[in-house]
């Protein structure tokens, strides 16, 4: 699933191309009528004022007071060329070529909707997002305050998007490995010192991944059709059974909140006093 670095890469490619262009037509293509691709007709005649990102959402403010909100889901790809299959939405734009923006979404987990600007009542995940990880509002103290009352595992809390926006399975695993924090550590047992390590590792991982234009494991492509290069720099995600690059202990895979989770049992030890013996949390 595209996470913050992938969505930010797409945003940076779309912004100079889309900003200022008027939408001549907008509609579904081979997609059922439903809330995932809703109210697109409202965008017709409006200009795209900017291309923004909030967490994993792309937000395009429109000149008439609406916003076009796009979530790539698990397999969504935006491109100027209509794809050969699984095209769900197509925008036709004024101005020079290219004049179309197509949204391909084979598994239909993505969204492409028009809402009044700032009205996210139909998008509760967007409405409840925590701070942006690369903004000054994301601090070790803020991270600690957002998890300290919870018994849930830290990995699960970070995936919830409430302590910080935009993280998914790949970058949570990478950040926790860098921070030497066990993914099953309950939020209420996170210390300020450990929160500072998680904060620093999160910023480092996301910054490096954005510079590499994200991670392509299977479906993700940039607007220009390129793949992300950060997959070659993953330290722990997808490397279970291999030696840890830091201590050479064999990396393991467990399940946390129904998500495959990769970690080093030596570098990321659970504090002994209340160590968890179960390797799975549902």
Nearest to 33 by CA among 138, 135, 92, 113: 113
Give the chain's mean pLDDT. 93
The active-site residue, picked from 28, 36, 42, 56, is 56
Whether 249 is catalytic is: no
Sign for the pseudo-dihedral over CA of 255, 257, 258, 259: negative
Same fold, 4-127 and 140-281: no
Per-residue pLDDT tens for 207-233? 999 999 999 988 899 999 999 999 999
The active-site residue, picked from 162, 259, 266, 276, is 259
Three-class DSSP category at 202:
helix
Give the CA angle between residues 57, 4, 91 to the nearest 5°.
40
Pair of tokens at residue 277: 């013996």
Higher pLDDT, 239 or 224: 239
8-state DSSP, 82: -
How far apart, in whole angstroms, are the C-alpha atoms of residue 139 and residue 168?
19
Whether 3 is catalytic is: yes
Q: How far is CA 201 from CA 43, 91, 150, in A?
A: 39, 38, 21
Say which CATH class 140-281 falls into: mainly alpha
Q: Are 116 and 154 in contact (CB under 8 A)?
A: no
Q: Phi then psi for 77, rounded to 5 degrees?
A: -135, 130
Question: Considering the entire predicted model, what is its pTM?
Answer: 0.93
Residue ranges of domains in the chain: 4-127, 140-281
CATH code given to domain 4-127:
3.20.190.10
In 16-166, where do the E strands start and end? 23-28, 52-54, 57-61, 66-71, 77-79, 87-93, 100-104, 111-116
Q: Are 256 and 263 in contact (CB under 8 A)?
A: no
Higher pLDDT, 109 or 209: 209
Sign for the pseudo-dihedral over CA of 134, 168, 231, 78: negative
Whether 2 is catalytic is: yes
Whether 155 is catalytic is: no
Mean pLDDT for 196-215 is 98
Sign for the pseudo-dihedral over CA of 280, 184, 124, 64: negative
Per-residue pLDDT tens for 250-268? 999 999 999 999 999 999 9
**Residue 278's pLDDT band (cuts 50, 70, 90):** very low
Per-residue pLDDT tens for 178-187? 999 999 999 9
């Amino acid at each position: 699933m595209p996470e913050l670095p992938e969505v930010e890469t797409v945003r940076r490619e779309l912004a100079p191309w889309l900003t200022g262009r008027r939408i001549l037509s907008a509609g579904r293509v081979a997609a059922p009528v439903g809330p995932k691709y809703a109210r697109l007709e409202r965008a017709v005649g409006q200009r795209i004022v900017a291309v923004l990102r909030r967490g994993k959402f792309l937000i395009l403010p429109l000149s008439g007071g609406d916003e076009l909100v796009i979530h790539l889901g698990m397999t969504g790809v935006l491109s100027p060329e209509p794809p050969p299959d699984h095209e769900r939405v197509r925008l036709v734009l004024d101005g020079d070529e290219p004049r179309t923006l197509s949204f391909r979404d084979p598994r239909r987990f993505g969204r492409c909707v028009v809402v009044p600007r700032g009205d996210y009542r139909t998008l509760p995940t967007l409405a409840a997002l925590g701070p942006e990880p690369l903004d000054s509002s994301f601090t070790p103290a803020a991270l600690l305050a957002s998890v300290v009352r919870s018994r849930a595992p830290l990995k699960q809390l970070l995936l919830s998007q409430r302590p910080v926006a935009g993280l998914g399975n790949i970058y949570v695993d990478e950040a926790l490995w860098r921070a030497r924090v066990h993914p099953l550590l309950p939020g209420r047992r996170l210390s300020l010192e450990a929160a500072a390590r998680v904060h620093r590792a999160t910023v480092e991982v996301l910054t490096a991944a954005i510079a590499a234009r994200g991670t392509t494991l299977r479906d993700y492509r940039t607007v220009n059709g390129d793949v992300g290069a950060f997959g070659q720099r993953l330290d722990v995600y997808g490397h279970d059974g291999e030696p840890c690059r830091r201590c050479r202990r064999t990396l393991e895979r467990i399940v946390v909140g129904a998500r495959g989770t990769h970690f080093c049992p030596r570098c990321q030890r659970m504090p002994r006093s209340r160590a968890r013996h179960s390797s799975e949390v549902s």
